[in-house]
Amino acid sequence: MMFMRVVQRSSSILRDNMMTFSSLDKFPRDGVISWNEYLTDFLMKLGVSLDGSKEKTDEAAKALNRTMKEEIMGLKAAWFESVRGDPDRLNIDEFLAFRHPEQSHSFLLKIVEDVANILDTNGDGVLNLGEFTELKLDDVSMDNFALRSLFDKDLKTLFKVVDIDGKGTVNRQEL
């Protein structure tokens, strides 16, 4: 039942992404969205009146309050995280990674690669239980033994779930 909800949510996200992308990819309809197209739409949803020109959009963005400017900077940072080509334009896959990184295969692969590289301390290409349980133990207070024990137990349970083939190691595909 839970799996069906996840699949339905994923399908809904993909459909929404396609519709949003299509509505933003205006003139010219070139299969990419420019940062200006996205920012113009964002500002218009805030009630800012614009003609779509880059100059007017930039001018309107500069006139916003600090909180909104910070939100735009956060969006711009996420935009650059999603780009694989031209930094000013996103294709539909990059746009999905921008709006829903949890749904983007390329973004998930990057996360897996980063996690595997950090945790694979012996360099054998797989994670053993000891390496896997080193996940951010620094974030758990070492003074609280009960909390650390619970965290360790949950990571051990998670390791068993992720270790699909039951070999006692987790490879990148399983991760």
Task: State the pLDDT at residue 22.
Answer: 92
Same fold: 2-99 with 106-171: yes
pTM (2 d.p.): 0.60
Q: Is the pLDDT of residue 1 over 50?
A: no
Assign 91 to helix, strand or coil: coil
Domain ranges of the chain: 2-99, 106-171
Class of domain 2-99: mainly alpha
Beta strand pairing call for 89-90 and 33-34: antiparallel
127 forms bridges with which residues in the sheet? 170
Exposure b/e, 125-152, CB count within 10 A at least 16 = b = ebbbeebbbebeeeeeeeeeeeeeeebe
Q: Are 34 and 87 in contact (CB under 8 A)?
A: no
What average pLDDT score do residues 15-42 get? 90
Domain made up of 106-171: CATH architecture: Orthogonal Bundle (1.10)
Task: State the pLDDT at residue 70.
Answer: 94
Work out the widest C-alpha separation in the chain, in whole angstroms.
Answer: 60
Cα gap 51→40, rounded to integer Å: 9
Cα gap 149→109, rounded to integer Å: 30
Write out pLDDT tens, residues 109-133.
Answer: 888 888 888 889 999 999 998 888 8
